[in-house]
A = this chain, B = another copy of it.
Amino acid sequence: MTGEARRPHTGRRRNEAARRAILDVAVDLLGRPGDTPVTIDTIAAAAGVGKQTIYRWWPSKGAVLLEAMAEHAGTAIPVPDTGTLRGDLEAFLTATFRAAGERLTATVLRHSMAEAQRDPHAREQMRALIETRRRVLRGILERGRERGEVSAGSDLDLMVDQAYGVLWYRILTGHAPLDDAQAAELARALSAQAG
């Protein structure tokens, strides 16, 4: 990631390779051990890019981090269809916890959420990303309701928040792990409370 082959100039059009380098470097720096500073200057330097090239395309540092996070954590979690609510939940939550619990990803998520609390641009991107994720899980619950596995009185949004709440709470405080066992148990608990 440090000074090798020169990036070809693309003249009047946006340099896509530079964009990639910036986003990749942002994630890479966040993952470095110790308290490596992740600043606009270090990102620009490591990506071999001028600061203006960053600010020409992103409104703030937080916006860069959030987009980097969205791409890094954007591994599409497949929407399962096992035939039962519990099965679907277990598959979805296991994949989700596994992705979010991975060390680098967890670090990126932590910093992104922190940044979203102070940078309005980042906050907006975070809200959109959160909303997208919530909708997917809510869809799984709605299918369960149509099958009669979720009682009519259940608050689906609250159930969604119980799942993602556990995820974020643990990522931010680090008091407990996010692993397959926890995902399975959460799936069991949620489907039990739904009936």
Contacts and interface: CB of A to CB of B under 8 A. Distances in A.
A94 to B, nearest CB: 14
Contact of A158 (B126, B166, B193): B166
Contacts of A164: 165, 169
A17 interface: no
Contacts of A126: 173
A29 to B, nearest CB: 14
Contact of A167 (B154, B165, B172, B175): B165
A117 B166 contact: no
A103 interface: no
Given A114-B114, A168-B168, A168-B169, A161 B176 contact: yes
Main secondary structure of the interface of A (DSSP, over half): helix
Interface of A: 110-111, 113-114, 116-118, 126-127, 130-131, 134, 154-155, 157-159, 161-162, 164-170, 172-176, 182, 185-186, 189-190, 192-193
Copies in the complex: 2
Given A117-B172, A161-B170, A192-B193, 7 more contacts: A113-B114, A127-B174, A134-B175, A154-B189, A158-B189, A161-B166, A164-B165
Contact of A130 (B111, B130, B131, B175): B175
A182 B165 CA distance: 14
Nearest to A113: B172
Nearest to A154: B189
- Residue with the highest number of chain B CB atoms closer than 10 Å, among A111, A113, A189, A192: A189
27 contacts: A111-B117, A113-B117, A114-B117, A114-B118, A117-B172, A127-B174, A130-B175, A131-B175, A134-B175, A157-B176, A158-B182, A161-B165, A161-B169, A162-B162, A162-B165, A162-B166, A162-B186, A162-B189, A164-B165, A164-B169, A165-B165, A165-B167, A165-B169, A168-B172, A169-B169, A190-B193, A193-B193
